[in-house]
Structure 1
Amino acid sequence: MAKNSKRKSRASDNDADHVPSSVPVKKPKEETEQLLSNAVAVAVELPAAVDGDSPARSSGRKSVSKKEEALVEDEEESKFVGDPVPNDEARRRWPHRYIAKKKTATIDSTEIPKGSEPPKEFIQAKKHYTEALIDGRVHFKLFEDCYVQAGEGEDNYICRVVEMFEGVDKKPYFCAQWFYRAKDTVIQACSNLIDDKRIFLSEIKDDNPLDCLVEKLKIVRVPLDVDVATKRDMLSNGNYYYDMLYSVPFSSYQKLPTDTYNEGDGNESDSTVSSESDSNLTGIKDSKVNEVKGTEMRMLDLYSGCGAMSTGLCLGANMANVNLVTRWAVDLNKYACESLKLNHPETEVRNETADDFLLLLKEWEKLCQSFSLVAGGDPMSVEKEETENAEDDGDDEDDDDDLGEEVFEVEKILSICYGDPKEIKKRGLYLKIRWKNYGPEEDTWEPIDGLGDCQEKIKKFVVDGFKSKLLPLPGDVDVICGGPPCQGISGFNRFRKKDDPLSDEKNKQLVVYMNIVEYLKPRFALMENVVDIVKFAKGFLGRYALGRLVSMNYQARIGLMTAGSYGLPQFRMRMFMWAARPNEKLPGYPLPTHNVVTRGAFPLEFESNAVIHDDVKAAELEKELFLGDAISDLPPVANDEERDEIPYGDMPATEFQKFIRLKKEDMPGFSGVTVGSSEHLLYDHRPYKCNDDDYQRVCQIPKRKGANFRDLKGVRVRDDNHVEWDPDVERVYLPSGKPLVPDYAMSFVDGRSSKPFGRLWWDEIVPTVVTRAEPHNQAILHPLQDRVLTIRENARLQGFPDYYKLLGPIKERYIQVGNAVAVPVARALGYSLAMSCKGTAVEGPTFILPKKFPSLEAVASPALILDEDQ
């Protein structure tokens, strides 16, 4: 479904004069009438790249006006030469230019970027030409690439001339198809990541006075998936090369279509390298990535948490008959790792930093090379080392006998890591050893360089690990997903570095994530993050992430998605960035399925990245869900509940409750390992226990909608919505001596907030699930029970199936749920991924999910889910 970009994107004031725009903006009426006074139809500017003006008509406007004056003085200065295109041919090739008077020409949807508003009218043509003379000296031909005049001190714009025509006003025009430098795309401040000879083709075309043309260029089309040096070699003596299509909606960088050269005649420009077939244009690719891997797609979940994102992706992909399996997961939180392993026993879960994981992968590849398991090793050096070690072994035995010391013999190697597991401040590659004649409690981590006498044991471990895919090698991973933490952009961080966000250690993991993608070269990648990544510091980190992916020749795009729009009673909004290798189809974003109004302002420059329906009234959406729809069936529990498993009690009362309570193997898209019986009690339905003072406060909050600390005795609300102490009421104290109404509640957000000790209600949608279950500054009290929402209730709001059990202390389980990606959102994205893998994805950045996705009706009628033509 094409997205209509009615939400205008704007650049900063500094960019407004020279950055091409992607949003339709009409010229001031008086200026348009002066420039095109005798035209039958007025040209409305098409979108370009970022700030609201097409290249030749931003800072170039004043220059155009001067040129127009010059044209009046000397009509021969810039003119068409040669014979015009025969009338019949011109009308066939450019029918929109020859509409009868008083009729409006409309544009074909293929001529504008998807998501942009089409122009209302065209400049009508009298004749078309194929050649022109500019300034009486430069000879231009149709479909040549050119510089177009910009404002004083600005770089000239770059275009391909796709039409030359004389308007009915008897003035000469050309239609430009624009190219953009990296700095003129959304990458902007991170354009240093991109080769300065690389430009991006757009689908934007608009009309300009002929004398805007300045100079001819040579622009070469090159394969996408080759390195910069190869592209530069192909450029030869040309000015620029291009290998991607850029469009503003969803900040999309995509592979070029089969034919991107000419409108109308099929003749190729002399300035392009166009002989490559589609397969050649996909470039050189690691053979491991291209090989057929059977029915399984392997996924690596970085910064995995308890596994919500990968769980949703796998469920969604498997619903479309693509067997996506999370083979590896990495997270620093040990409790999250335990939860993930419990629910996904098929996954190799690693409790370590992503930095160490990347170093481990590189060392693992070296080990595999050393034993000739992959190319690049030197088997002779291994044999030599083994011989030397064998000789050393003999000497060691003699020494040991002489000294009478105990000899420890390695029974087997259990695991491998990179870091400092012995905590001896010596980082490196370590192996976990089971010692002969000793039990598991005596297992130890030993540096690999101290195990020179165990080459056969090391070899067996590496060979077995290579066969079982213990760790991924480059080309082994089909999909990488993850949400690198960027605490440096958090509003709670008082020391945020706005001028240089990447210098902040708290934002380092974004770089590490991209480094892992670059090393492993997956077919697809999906990065999730808070919306502040495209807000903070003018969106620098979001631009950096896009720039890194594009510099690695990945197709990429950004979408902003709201959890409630996919069947949850939660407004939570997150950024999702897709990436795909050149020979893959870049996945799109599933449009909302439920009627939830998005809350929170989009960053102005990224408004066109919002995944929403253009016309909500015309869309067939399910009714929004409320808190009661999600949790009303759960049994009552007390503030001090300590059981991790309890009976359900009531039957499910809503479709959501029926769906969320399905057994694991009954869940749509389940395709994994089930340990034991899938019958289960209700897990994790216990709250964070409020202390005695807070509990007494909670008990006095009325059980009605909107109740909070303001309803406590002694608080008065002024007309301006600020709270103050009621001078007529004596302050109430608790048995502990603490005040019933704490000072921090009165002063929170300057006394304007109603969140402290706020009670939720059945017909409400929760703003966002939080990681801290304390009621001091947020509304998280149950509607009718004197407690905060339980772990399970929060998990329901995030879309976790009830069978998903969590491990760790209570606070840690709240953190796991609060940090998770909403499962229904990930499920919808997994479905999109499957469509791209199968080659059945629709064109455009958004699409409509199958009806009832993924309700119980869909379970009963799988065809509803697999109807890929919708």
Structure 2
Amino acid sequence: MSSRRRSKSDTPISPKPDPEASSSPKKKLKTELNADLTPISNSSPKSSAAKTRKVKAELRVEEDDAPARFLEPHFPDREARERWPLRYAGKKKKVVAEKNSRDDSEEVIQALHHYSQAKVDNITYNLFDDAHVKAEDGEDDYICKIIEMFEAVDGELYFTAQWYYRAKDTVVKDHAHLINDKRVFFSEVRDDNPLDCLVKKLNIARIPLTMDKKKKRLPSCDFYCDMLYLLPYSSFVKLPTSEKKVGSETSSTISSEVDTDGACEVNSEIGDVTQAQQCRKPEVTLLDLYSGCGAMSTGLCLGGNLSGVNLVTKWAVDLNQYACESLRFNHPETQVRNEMAEDFLLLLKEWEMLCKYFSLIKSKEPQQKYIDLFANEDEGEDEGEDEEEEEDEKTEDDGEVFEVEKILAICYGDPNETKKRGLFLKVRWKGYGSDEDTWEPIDGLSNCKEKLKDFVTSGYKSKSLPLPGDVDVICGGPPCQGISGFNRFRNKENPLEDEKNKQLVVYMDLVEYLRPKYVLMENVVDIVKFANGFLGRYALGRLISMNYQVRMGMMAAGAYGLPQFRMRMFMWGAQPTEKLPQYPLPTHDVVVRGVIPTEFEMNVVAYEEGHKDVHLEKKLLLEDAISDLPAVENDERRDEMPYDEPPKTEFQHLIRSPREERFDSSTMSKPAMHPLYDHRPLELNTDDYQRVCQIPKRKGANFRDLPGVRVRPDKRVEWDPDVKRVYLESGKPLVPDYAMSFVNGSSSKPFARLWWDETVPTVVTRAEPHNQAITHPEQDRVMTIRENARLQGFPDYYKLFGPVKERYIQVGNAVAVPVARALGYSLGMAFQGLAGDAPVCSLPKKFPNILKRHSSASSEEVA
């Protein structure tokens, strides 16, 4: 089952810098009672407690000068028992301490009385005051809200603290400098502490979470709080608009709807989905950054459509020209830009200035840059026509005059490869065709103000480039090659100094500039593993500093209907005005495996171990995905071919459905009209082909099955001294040395065959069989582009462009489409305000075939 185990160390009991391993102040700072109040050892616990209460009563007058005491009167016994029933159970009892503590439990300290006021070191504290709590030497004092004050039956005086976290004490840790040092985050973590641990009263202002930092006028206070910090999925969410009565065992201090344990069932009935579709909202715009061939945005749009949101990829940006070609073909509605993300950001800023200069956007500040650029032309407009005619006469004898007919495009960068970067315009010259179009720096077109105005006005109206406020959703996976295990020179001290990781900064800069309603960032799990999760924590810190609500989760592709494991990190961000999307729980029975740092085990999206009433679909196997595809040879060259047999599995029916069926339930069950695209393998060289031909066609077969290789008892390989080494026609050995030495001879991956009843670990970008299992089970070749695309969930209508190796790269770099589709459904529910407060939710039954089942049911009813 797709589940995970929670350990007791998962939840802290005080806001220490390392939340998952921290201890309570009470454990280190607990004070002893006066020896005179210690129960007599020969007495029973009950009689000892009675004697203690008697001594305490007799010494009440003397205690007025004690450093820590409660102020009378105490709560009436009946009210106290109603509000804190577990404190008056009559004996110590093991209970679940708090819902956020998950499976942790602790003894509930039994109470004699509850109070609303206390005096510690001559400072009077009221119930629900905020306060500093004594910390270890050299550390900042802890910060809490006092939610309970009580005297225990043994005479000890306690308060219950509900903790605030400073940024440095949260998952953000070393990136706390990104966040205002007066900002703290309220939590659901609470515990009991000796009364004399209180140090100082604090004034913590509760303020609304807003996107505009300038409008956030901070009141006079010690700290301010505008978000909750919830440990599951490293969540930061806005404070609830209303709070329940705090301090009671039967209520939460945060919200009656916050449940960090369970899964919130969201619209699991067919009727809910179709009703949402009938109330379709206007177009919701998506910008796909580092888009590749568009798998992530494709899945998001498919999932959003299923939830009733018309999510459309309006813009996409990627540096790979072949990936951009693929995206343009499959998404003609998308403005695809083949450029670096940092150039795209600079272009957007210039575009905004141009829109302001031409009065398309209101601006309080003059756009001096463009005022100066067009100054000469503006002055010339005031001169008479006679001067213009004279100028024309002068230029006739100077040679050919080039006149701008139309401005076609705009970019920021160095399109002419002159090593001079800046803003360029693509120009169509009057009297010349498209072959003569050129990129010109804007400085050289100062006499083309009207042409530029027409171009900018047209682009503004069509939203060819997004301006701040135009984008509803930004998604993307900024490449971070600097954390790759293949990079021997990784910077472990400060990964952001590595040029290979700077795209994460660019991604966040684009988010900060465009301010979308929602953000979804994807990356490899190494982002939370490498250098103690430095880059993952940075991404969280940047979003929080922009006042986005955030949460982070890890999802396995196989758990959403693919025969591939593939674990990836997904980080949600949402503006304060929006619901923070949930993570969709698995739909298929795949065991979540892989090395996840202990601190982030709570971020794996899976059902709790032992969760009842969970009925997951059977995990998919390789045969379920590709068994219907035609047999092809190693030297197959066709990019298109017909199917030679019908689909055999539900997965194959879905993956082969036509494009129209994905968005229009009225076209259900129509046969695919498109050919089969990209079903060709990387052609192996003669040597590798001959090697593959000798690998047995059975499960587990690999180079170890070739003659001359012997497997030792420790599972490592060695040369068999009794077998003469075999050589190929080329003179090279049948078993290459690199196969024997790979991973010190312990690996069985070189030239390994996949098998029909297996789940593939991860589709990669390279198709060479030298160090990975990528050989077809029964055909002497590597997996084709289309077979890999099937394992990634690409619909068969999705056609790829570029050389064969480039198409493998596009597929291997992609986000698994079913995972993106599930996230798109959650996004759509959040966009409509229908998402729950829990961090996870359950998808509708038989997702994503919900529309097909509904359509079939409707047909039966009509019949």
One fold, TM greater than 0.5? yes
Hey, what does 2:351 align to over in structure 1? 364
State whether residues 17 and 168 of structure 2, in contact with CA within 8 Å, keep that contact through their aligned partners in structure 1.
no
Cα separation, 2, equivalents of 1:828 and 1:67: 57
State whether residues 71 and 78 of structure 1, in contact with CA within 8 Å, keep that contact through their aligned partners in structure 2.
no
Cα separation, 2, equivalents of 1:788 and 1:705: 15
Aligned residue runs from structure 1 range 66-85, under 5 A:
76-85=66-75
State whether residues 8 and 604 of structure 1, in contact with CA within 8 Å, keep that contact through their aligned partners in structure 2.
no
- Cα gap change, 1:696 to 1:666, in 2 (>3 Å): same
Aligned AA (1:6): R
- Cα gap change, 1:743 to 1:8, in 2 (>3 Å): farther
Cα separation, 1, equivalents of 2:344 and 2:336: 11
Cα separation, 2, equivalents of 1:138 and 1:71: 24
1:680 aligns with 2:674: yes
Hey, what does 1:242 align to over in structure 2? 225
Hey, what does 1:150 align to over in structure 2? 135
The C-alpha deviation readout for 1:723-763, integer Å capped at 9, x for no partner, is 11111111111111111100000000001100000000000
Q: 2:330 aligns with which of 332, 338, 343?
A: 343
Cα separation, 1, equivalents of 2:622 and 2:36: 68
1:755 aligns with 2:749: yes
Superposed displacement of residue 398, structure 1? 4.0
SS at match of 2:588: coil
SS at match of 2:774: strand
Superposed displacement of residue 679, structure 1? 1.4
Hey, what does 2:854 align to over in structure 1? 861
- Cα gap change, 1:395 to 1:595, in 2 (>3 Å): farther
SS at match of 1:235: coil
Hey, what does 1:61 align to over in structure 2? 27
Superposed displacement of residue 219, structure 1? 0.8
Cα separation, 1, equivalents of 2:115 and 2:416: 77
Q: 2:784 aligns with which of 769, 775, 790?
A: 790
1:99 aligns with 2:89: yes
Superposed displacement of residue 189, structure 1? 0.8
Once structures 1 and 2 are overlaid, which stretch shifts more, 507-516 or 186-195? 186-195
Aligned AA (1:574): R
Q: 1:23 aligns with which of 5, 11, 15?
A: 11
State whether residues 283 and 312 of structure 2, in contact with CA within 8 Å, keep that contact through their aligned partners in structure 1.
yes
Hey, what does 1:306 align to over in structure 2? 293
SS at match of 1:341: helix
1:667 aligns with 2:662: yes
Cα separation, 2, equivalents of 1:671 and 1:798: 27
Cα separation, 1, equivalents of 2:856 and 2:218: 48
Cα separation, 2, equivalents of 1:66 and 1:531: 47
Cα separation, 2, equivalents of 1:179 and 1:610: 25
Once structures 1 and 2 are overlaid, which stretch shifts more, 344-353 or 453-462? 453-462
The C-alpha deviation readout for 1:659-681, integer Å capped at 9, x for no partner, is 11001111257999xxxx97111
The C-alpha deviation readout for 1:450-487, integer Å capped at 9, x for no partner, is 11111111001000000000000000000000000000
Aligned AA (1:134): V
1:555 aligns with 2:549: yes
Cα separation, 2, equivalents of 1:621 and 1:68: 59
The C-alpha deviation readout for 1:246-269, integer Å capped at 9, x for no partner, is 01110000000123585159xxxx
Cα separation, 1, equivalents of 2:494 and 2:78: 59
1:514 aligns with 2:519: no
Hey, what does 1:831 align to over in structure 2? 825
RMSD over aligned Cα atoms: 2.8
1:608 aligns with 2:606: no
- Cα gap change, 1:379 to 1:625, in 2 (>3 Å): closer
Superposed displacement of residue 68, structure 1? 8.2
State whether residues 560 and 573 of structure 1, in contact with CA within 8 Å, keep that contact through their aligned partners in structure 2.
yes
Q: Percent same amino acid at aligned positions?
A: 63
Cα separation, 2, equivalents of 1:48 and 1:656: 48
Cα separation, 2, equivalents of 1:248 and 1:155: 21
1:200 aligns with 2:185: yes
- Cα gap change, 1:729 to 1:506, in 2 (>3 Å): same
The C-alpha deviation readout for 1:683-737, integer Å capped at 9, x for no partner, is 0000000000000000000000000001111111111111111111111111111
Once structures 1 and 2 are overlaid, which stretch shifts more, 840-849 or 473-482? 840-849
The C-alpha deviation readout for 1:145-191, integer Å capped at 9, x for no partner, is 11111111111100010111112222211111100100100000111
Aligned AA (1:516): L
SS at match of 1:716: strand
Cα separation, 1, equivalents of 2:679 and 2:176: 49
Superposed displacement of residue 411, structure 1? 1.3
State whether residues 665 and 852 of structure 2, in contact with CA within 8 Å, keep that contact through their aligned partners in structure 1.
no
1:652 aligns with 2:647: yes
- Cα gap change, 1:7 to 1:800, in 2 (>3 Å): farther
Cα separation, 1, equivalents of 2:366 and 2:146: 55
Cα separation, 2, equivalents of 1:295 and 1:494: 49
SS at match of 2:729: coil
Hey, what does 2:150 align to over in structure 1? 165
Q: 2:109 aligns with which of 79, 102, 123?
A: 123
Superposed displacement of residue 121, structure 1? 4.4
State whether residues 14 and 23 of structure 2, in contact with CA within 8 Å, keep that contact through their aligned partners in structure 1.
no
Aligned residues: 792
SS at match of 1:173: strand
State whether residues 709 and 717 of structure 2, in contact with CA within 8 Å, keep that contact through their aligned partners in structure 1.
yes
The C-alpha deviation readout for 1:506-549, integer Å capped at 9, x for no partner, is 00000000000000000000000000000000000000000000
Cα separation, 1, equivalents of 2:846 and 2:147: 45
Hey, what does 1:296 align to over in structure 2? 283
State whether residues 15 and 142 of structure 2, in contact with CA within 8 Å, keep that contact through their aligned partners in structure 1.
no
Hey, what does 1:34 align to over in structure 2? none
Superposed displacement of residue 788, structure 1? 0.1
State whether residues 92 and 108 of structure 2, in contact with CA within 8 Å, keep that contact through their aligned partners in structure 1.
no
Cα separation, 1, equivalents of 2:82 and 2:327: 62
Cα separation, 1, equivalents of 2:505 and 2:664: 33
Cα separation, 2, equivalents of 1:63 and 1:434: 77
Hey, what does 2:172 align to over in structure 1? 187
- TM-score computed with the length of structure 1 as normaliser: 0.87
Aligned AA (2:654): F
Task: Indicate the structure whose relative CO is greater, using CA pairs within 8 Å and at least 6 residues apart.
Answer: 2
State whether residues 90 and 110 of structure 2, in contact with CA within 8 Å, keep that contact through their aligned partners in structure 1.
no
1:387 aligns with 2:381: no
Hey, what does 2:276 align to over in structure 1? none
Cα separation, 2, equivalents of 1:188 and 1:215: 25
- Cα gap change, 1:99 to 1:464, in 2 (>3 Å): same
SS at match of 2:589: coil
Cα separation, 2, equivalents of 1:375 and 1:533: 41
The C-alpha deviation readout for 1:577-615, integer Å capped at 9, x for no partner, is 000001111111001100001121111110000001103
Gapped runs of 5+ residues in structure 1?
Answer: 10-21, 25-44, 266-271, 273-291, 866-870
Aligned residue runs from structure 1 range 671-750, under 5 A:
679-750=673-744
SS at match of 1:169: coil
Superposed displacement of residue 858, structure 1? 4.1
State whether residues 143 and 164 of structure 2, in contact with CA within 8 Å, keep that contact through their aligned partners in structure 1.
yes
SS at match of 2:293: coil
Superposed displacement of residue 82, structure 1? 1.9
Superposed displacement of residue 91, structure 1? 2.3
Once structures 1 and 2 are overlaid, which stretch shifts more, 472-481 or 125-134? 125-134
Cα separation, 1, equivalents of 2:477 and 2:695: 37
- Cα gap change, 1:245 to 1:68, in 2 (>3 Å): farther
SS at match of 2:827: helix
The C-alpha deviation readout for 1:474-501, integer Å capped at 9, x for no partner, is 0000000000000000000000000010
State whether residues 477 and 523 of structure 1, in contact with CA within 8 Å, keep that contact through their aligned partners in structure 2.
yes
Gapped runs of 5+ residues in structure 2?
Answer: 39-58, 249-253, 255-278, 859-863
State whether residues 418 and 429 of structure 1, in contact with CA within 8 Å, keep that contact through their aligned partners in structure 2.
yes
- Cα gap change, 1:170 to 1:616, in 2 (>3 Å): closer
Hey, what does 1:40 align to over in structure 2? none
- Cα gap change, 1:163 to 1:299, in 2 (>3 Å): same
